[in-house]
A = this chain, B = another copy of it.
Amino acid sequence: MENDRPVVGVDLGGTKILSAVVRADGAILARAKLPTEASGGLEHVIDRIAQSVFDAVREARLSPADVPAMAVGSPGPLDPHKGIILEAPNLGWKNVPLGAELEKRTGIKTFVENDVDMGTLGEFVFGAAKGADSVLGVFVGTGIGGGIIIHGKLLRGAAGVAGEIGHIVVKRNGAACNCGGRGCMEAYAGRWAVARYIHKAVRKGRRSSVARVVKGDHVNLTSGTLRSAWRADDKLVRKALTRACKYLGAGIGSVVNLLSPEVVVIGGGVFEALGKELLPITVKHIRRNAMEASLRNVRIVLAALGDDANVLGASVAARQRLCE
């Protein structure tokens, strides 16, 4: 059967492209990883994606003709129905018909999806939220992305951009956000916001082992650096991350009230690095902000699939959309 054949899932990031050939049961037959080389421009990056797909397919001892479909998890906003990336700021893209371009290059039917949606779908089908009917995925990295499963189905929303939990307002008229708004959860709890907070404190004379890292460009503060500083008991880093968890608690608690999901999965770079430390603090603050009835029925867990979540989710999307 068509649907039993392996498909390809692609995770398109600003720095790397990960492609995987995946069986229906979630077994990864082969992987390929390439630097994105975003500075090389649009055509170059699309060629790189095609190359990584070819690499993975060859590694699995298949040919592209054996693969009925692939899906690319891409930063958004994007139009999943038309396969168009509307905007990908970290790639410098606007209105790119990625699906059509990749079909031209690979001959493989290509679907385009939001990367965080794919992470949520991966955790839902193969990971920490397996078997649930409703899932909220929250991925805390530089920014904060989210994905939602309702009635066992990914919520794309009328605009194809549902799940933007990073931009729910947890403090009206609060801190400035990258989206142009104010008081978004991301503006307090995304890694860039944590770096901004540390940077401001350092400028006021607070000490920190990451003082030099946050100076100038906030993006240099990696999750690994945060982990080392936390574990070395860097007081300012601990304070900044604890504060981030408070805002995560307010935002996630709100959504628990709103959607009453069976499972909340929290992942992304920051929680991959410091999940054990940050999850209990976050859960405490979710409990403060959500109501008893919603809390009684929700499990709050760490993501389980790490870097593979997006390609696994993309393989599920490719398979599902092929049958629609």
Residues on B with C-beta less than 8 A from A164 are 257-258, 260, 291, 294
CB of A161 within 8 A of CB of B253, answer no
Name A115-173 residues within 8 Å CB distance of B. Answer: 133-134, 146, 148, 150-151, 153, 155-165, 167-172
A183: Cβ under 8 A from any B Cβ: yes
Contact of A162 among B146, B254, B258, B289 (CB under 8 A): B258
Interface status of A276 (Cβ within 8 A of chain B): no
With A148-B258, A181-B289 known to touch, is A251 a contact of B159 (CB < 8 Å)?
A: no
| Tally of chain A residues near chain B (CB < 8 A) | 51
Quickly give the copy total for this chain. 2
Complex Cα gap A6–B247 (Å): 49
Q: Are A258 and B146 in contact (CB under 8 A)?
A: yes
Cβ contact of A158, chosen from B156, B179, B297, cutoff 8 A: B297
Contacts of A148 in B (CB 8 A): 258-259
Q: Which residue, of A150, A165, A168, A262, has the highest number of chain B Cβ atoms within 10 A?
A: A168
Using a CB-CB cutoff of 8 Å, which residues 243-283 of chain A contact chain B?
246-247, 250-251, 253-255, 257-262
Residues of chain B within 8 A (CB-CB) of A323 are none
Contact A260 B158 (CB under 8 A): yes
Nearest B residue to A261 via CB reads B158
Within the complex, which residue of B157, B159, B167, B258 is in contact with A168, where a contact is CB–CB below 8 Å? Answer: B258
Cβ of A293 under 8 Å from chain B: yes
- A81–chain B nearest beta-carbon distance, Å: 12
**Given A77-B293, A157-B134, A170-B170; A162-B250 close (CB under 8 Å):** no
Report B-chain residues with C-beta under 8 Å of the C-beta of A160: 260, 293
Q: List A275-324 residues whose CB lies under 8 Å from chain B.
A: 288-289, 291, 293-294, 296-298
B298 touching A159 by the CB < 8 A rule? yes
Task: Kindly name the residue among A169, A253, A254, A262 whose own CB sees the greatest number of chain B CB atoms within 10 A.
Answer: A169
Q: How far is the CB of A309 from chain B (nearest CB, A)?
A: 20
Q: Are A255 and B168 interface neighbours, CB within 8 A? A: yes
Least CB distance from A184 to B in Å reads 8
Q: Are A258 and B163 in contact (CB under 8 A)?
A: yes
Q: In the bound complex, how far is the Cα of B253 from the Cα of A183, in angstroms? A: 12
Contacts of A289 in B (CB 8 A): 169, 181
A289 to B294, CA, bound (A): 26
Q: How far is the CA of A321 from the CA of B257 in the complex (A)?
A: 24
Interface residues of A (CB under 8 A from B): 76-77, 86, 133-134, 146, 148, 150-151, 153, 155-165, 167-172, 179, 181, 183, 246-247, 250-251, 253-255, 257-262, 288-289, 291, 293-294, 296-298
